[in-house]
Structure 1
Amino acid sequence: MTHPRTSQTFAPPVMEARRWLDGVTHPADRPLLNVSQAAPVDPPPPAMCDAMADIIRNDPAVHLYGPVLGMPALRAAVAQQWTVSYGGTVTADQVAITSGCNQAFAAAIASLCAEGDEVILPVPYYFNHRMWLDMSGVHTVPLGVGPDMVPRAEDAAALITPRTRAIALVSPNNPCGVEYPAGTLHAFADLARTHGVALIVDETYRDFDSRSGAPHDLFTDPHWDDTLIQLYSFSKAYRLTGHRVGAVIASTARLAEIEKFLDTVTICPNQLGQRAALWGMQNLGDWLADQRQEILARRAAITDNFPTLAAQGWKLLGCGAYFAYLQHPFGISSADLAPILVQQAGVLLLPGTMFMPDDVAGGASQLRIAFANVDASDIAVLFDRLAKLHL
């Protein structure tokens, strides 16, 4: 008996977590703190909304099909900005625009893998990456991380087999928040090139990296595109989550294969979203810098307030971008603890079990906080609620 592809993976974790809210009321003096999803809930800034409205009214092409690999102007803008910010050379024909970063990952995997192939993912992993591999018939090979939540290339080397097609990293990391050192990424690039596999680096949260300057030097290698596939999302930078605009930066040969996937799935990326992303790149540099500072302030609030939890036996395993990754002190699985937190603390977050294979230890003691939509005062309240929890 055969089984459909979708039956090979688990239910969407964020949707599952939302069902924990059913039938639960939250008193006025203890409103729900939703730290479950890494997506801004505010709309784009007013100037961008005005620009988008003008585009809808006055640009007839926004309502039509466009190029499969995206608007030439947006591809060129990404190439130019990447060339400047990373200190290497990226050309417009090495950039494709996708319907969100999830689709960028799906397209990359479709261009790399056949059924039965393998992709190495550090664990904890971003669950949608695991879900797509499952539905593609591709085996996820878990790569353990150290106490700093950073994977090591030498550990990955022992996992490479003749079926390995890629190593996929996320930095700044989802779910752990850690920023992978430049040396770590360089070591993985060397490893991937040596073994003839791709290195996928998902930099969805690059705009909120705490470091100044380029986070790595991979693009300075004149032959970067024989190994590197970089993924990006405009959703977090410009609050365009509902418009689904992402990017994949890779070799022209890789993009020719990716084009087949994109043409079959969406035909073209969202036309309004692409124009909004381009407008944002051209006009919102200072605004985005302010948004980065706000996220960094929230990151500081996590570390400043964490002694409240540390006194109760909690540990902060990682923090950065939109995320704090915690180890709880309770003698139950995080899968059971997370629904209890909704009821007893008015907190919705995701358990570490959603970011780990069932046969890999660790997730049961871990929790992810996504702080994109809670400010410093909310973070203090959040930690106070968690500290007062007694099971």
Structure 2
Amino acid sequence: MTPPRTATTFPPPVMEARRWLEGVTFPADRPLINVSQAAPVDPPHPDMRRAMADVVLGDDSAHLYGPVLGNPALRTELAARTARIYAGEVTPQNICITSGCNQAFAAAIAALCSDGDEVIVPVPWYFNHKMWLDMSGATSVPLTCGDDMMPDPAQAEALITPRTRAIVLVTPNNPTGAEYPDGLINAFFDLAQTHGLKLIVDETYRDFHSHSGTPHSLFQRSDWQNTLVQLYSFSKAYRLTGHRIGALAASPALLAEIEKFLDTVAICPAQIGQHAALWGMRNLDQWLTGERDEILRRRSAITDQMPRLVANGWRLRGLGGYFAYMEHPFALGSADLAPLMVKQAGILCLPGTMFYPDNTPQAAHELRIAFANLDADGITTLFDRLEALDLQPR
């Protein structure tokens, strides 16, 4: 008997990690440090919340079905913003709004892949991408990143077969934090274009990129629509995680296929969240700049604290967006180390084994730290606890 699609993949990793907290108590002088999930814990800006309340009370249409591809005003605003950020040409017809960025990825794969088709995914990978490919009947083809956590286009080309449909990049990367340079992203675009593939670029953490200027130049290409599928999320920028508002940029022809998926799955994105995202883009640029600056300060705090751990054999493999990706020095594998750290150090983080194919040796040596919800004092405390871990070294 053929198993159901959901049985072809693993349980949600963040939910699995939360189960490690069951039965564990944390004393008042050593509360839990939760660095397992990359999601803001603070609510949206108070002015945004008031704007949302005004919509709830005063806009009757916000309680009805909306257009499948999203609020036209929001699509227009995001198209203009994307064109401005990337110095390219993007129209509202290139934009659709989705129920979170995960749904944007799911919609793209649904429109591109059939059973047995292949998608090249750099590893360590974002586990929800892998899960959706499993449940879609598509094959995830792992592309091992180099020591600098960068994927190699030449190695990717060697993995292309007649069943390959797309290559996926996440930048700034989840889980490693690595920020792919423009030249590398363009090299992958050229590779995809040459072989008639789509290049899916997930930029969920774009608003917290450490470099000023355009994150990449793909939208400046006159033919970008034939190859590029860009994914974006409003969740991190405006603290709208619970409202599930993401976006996708692609050709109108591909969006026509994606519309079939979105209409069947959710009919339309949540109206209140869409109004919030629109209000945020129109009113919170200065506030968002401050949010980015704070994340960059926390990133710098990681860099400043890291020598303490390096002295004990730790290694920082990647840093950016919301993430510090670390190699630990212990003999114990990360799948066992991460739940042990809950009990011994009051730290909840995710093991590298959640971001690799099964039985990948290097996964046992790696941990993902989602640092964005820790201030400078919290990061110092985190490093105090990591430094104090006393386990058998490798």
TM-score by length of 2: 0.99
1:114-129 alignment, distance < 5 Å? 114-129=114-129
**Tell me, which stretches of 5 or more residues in structure 2 are unaligned?**
none
Q: CA deviation at 1:359?
A: 3.8
Corresponding residue of 1:29:
29
Corresponding residue of 1:97:
97
SS in 1 for 2:386: helix
Opposite residue 342 of structure 1, the aligned amino acid is V
Identity of aligned residues (%): 67
Deviations 1:101-129 (A, max 9, x none): 00000000000000000000000000000
Corresponding residue of 2:303:
303
Q: CA deviation at 1:361?
A: 2.7
Distance in 1 between residues matched to 2:362 and 2:108, nearest whole Å = 29
Corresponding residue of 2:148:
148
Corresponding residue of 2:43:
43
Opposite residue 31 of structure 1, the aligned amino acid is P
- In the alignment, is residue 111 of structure 1 matched against residue 111 of structure 2? yes
Distance in 1 between residues matched to 2:150 and 2:59, nearest whole Å = 46
Opposite residue 363 of structure 1, the aligned amino acid is A
Q: CA deviation at 1:85?
A: 1.0
Corresponding residue of 1:259:
259
Q: CA deviation at 1:332?
A: 1.3
Opposite residue 211 of structure 2, the aligned amino acid is R
Opposite residue 328 of structure 1, the aligned amino acid is H
Q: CA deviation at 1:360?
A: 2.8
Distance in 2 between residues matched to 1:233 and 1:85, nearest whole Å = 15
- In the alignment, is residue 158 of structure 1 matched against residue 158 of structure 2? yes
Corresponding residue of 2:76:
76
Corresponding residue of 2:326:
326
Distance in 2 between residues matched to 1:136 and 1:85, nearest whole Å = 33
Opposite residue 372 of structure 2, the aligned amino acid is A
Deviations 1:194-240 (A, max 9, x none): 00000000000000001111011000001101000000000000000
Corresponding residue of 2:244:
244
Q: CA deviation at 1:248?
A: 0.4
1:118-267 alignment, distance < 5 Å? 118-267=118-267
Corresponding residue of 1:290:
290
SS in 2 for 1:369: strand
Corresponding residue of 1:336:
336
Opposite residue 376 of structure 1, the aligned amino acid is A
**Tell me, which stretches of 5 or more residues in structure 1 are unaligned?**
none
Question: RMSD of the alignment, in Å?
Answer: 0.5
Opposite residue 70 of structure 1, the aligned amino acid is G
SS in 2 for 1:362: helix
Distance in 1 between residues matched to 2:297 and 2:377, nearest whole Å = 11
Q: CA deviation at 1:61?
A: 0.7
- In the alignment, is residue 8 of structure 1 matched against residue 8 of structure 2? yes
Give the total of aligned pairs: 391
Q: CA deviation at 1:144?
A: 0.8
Q: Which runs of 4+ in 1 moved over 6 A?
A: none
Distance in 2 between residues matched to 1:44 and 1:132, nearest whole Å = 29
Distance in 2 between residues matched to 1:373 and 1:194, nearest whole Å = 41
Opposite residue 377 of structure 1, the aligned amino acid is D
Distance in 1 between residues matched to 2:95 and 2:306, nearest whole Å = 41
Q: CA deviation at 1:147?
A: 1.0
Q: CA deviation at 1:151?
A: 0.5
Distance in 2 between residues matched to 1:377 and 1:157, nearest whole Å = 45
SS in 1 for 2:24: coil
SS in 1 for 2:159: coil
Distance in 2 between residues matched to 1:352 and 1:376, nearest whole Å = 25
Opposite residue 139 of structure 1, the aligned amino acid is T
TM-score by length of 1: 0.99
Distance in 1 between residues matched to 2:146 and 2:183, nearest whole Å = 15
Distance in 2 between residues matched to 1:86 and 1:256, nearest whole Å = 24
SS in 1 for 2:367: strand
Q: CA deviation at 1:337?
A: 0.1
Distance in 1 between residues matched to 2:369 and 2:360, nearest whole Å = 21
- In the alignment, is residue 56 of structure 1 matched against residue 48 of structure 2? no
